[in-house]
Amino acid sequence: MFLVMRSLLVIFASVSGYFIVYEIAGNSLAYIGLVSGLLISVLALLFEDRVKRTPLRIVIGGAIGLIIGLVVANLLTYPVMLNFKSRYIELAAYLITNIIIGYIGLSIGMKKGDEFDSEWFAKLFTGHQKDGEPKQAKAQVLQPLVVDTSVIIDGRIAEVCETGFLEGTLVVPQFVLQELQYIADAGDPIKRARGKRGLDVLKQIQTNRKTTVEITDRDFPEIREVDSKLVALAKELSGRIITNDANL
């Protein structure tokens, strides 16, 4: 579905660029609009991918900074543009001012967003944690979250933990660790890379001060499949399972 949407975006941007330049400069230069639309759509897709991998607080900080920068740029350029007689100079001054000041606002916003206290941000939206309440005490009153191997390998859980939105103790069973280690020691280089990535993600989560992680030795020898063990452990702890597996 996402591939179809991205393909439609590229086609729409390319065709739009072609017809816009065609109306302005004629048929001889219309191909420039086609190429420009294609490049803009590719840059937009690269930007989308970068935003997906950026922590939420930095995205919000950058968006706020960009909006403020563009507002300031328009307030500054509007009275000045009234004195320009050339339409092209007016347009150039408008674009340059908005790009420069907008970029400055974006950079400052992202920098300040990175310094933002995620715990306060989480409290603002969830209203659960009180000032001065230790995360261990908070986690004890919430449902435990039993973590599946697929989520750890995926890696995005580390970013979610960094935002402070994931509440409750993350319970990592020993049999999940064993499965991770087994994948990390696999002969297939792709599987081995995924396993090592999962171990690195787990270390990152454990060092995150906003998250409580518990490694449990609880096992169910009578159950062979890891998925079934996860279900049994979640029932025993009255917790929830975090997984990417649709079957769970």
List pLDDT tens digits, range 203-219: 888 888 778 888 888 88
Please tell me the predicted confidence (pLDDT) of residue 122: 52
What tokens does 61 get? 């900080």
More confident position, 109 or 247:
109
Share of the chain above pLDDT 70, in %: 86
Read off the pLDDT band of 67 (50, 70, 90): very high
Where b means 16+ CB within 10 Å and e means fewer, 164-180 reads bebbbbbbbbebbbebb
CA distance 53 to 48: 9
Domain span at 21:
1-53
Nearest Cα neighbor of 225 from 162, 174, 172, 175 is 175
Read off the pLDDT band of 120 (50, 70, 90): low
Is residue 97 located within the same domain as residue 45?
no
What tokens does 155 get? 């890696």
Is residue 200 located within the same domain as residue 144?
yes
Which of 135-144, 165-174, 230-239 is modeled with the greatest confidence? 230-239
Q: Is residue 122 included in any domain, yes or no?
A: no
The set of residues, in sequence order, having a beta carbon less than 8 Å from that of 204 and lying 6+ positions away, is 158
Domain boundary among 95, 116, 137: 116
Is residue 168 located within the same domain as residue 219?
yes
φ and ψ at residue 215, rounded to 5 degrees: -95, 120
Number of domains in the chain: 3
The stretch 31-52 carries a mean pLDDT of 82
pLDDT at 38 exceeding the cut of 70 = yes
Please tell me the predicted confidence (pLDDT) of residue 7: 82
The stretch 221-237 carries a mean pLDDT of 87
Please tell me the predicted confidence (pLDDT) of residue 191: 87
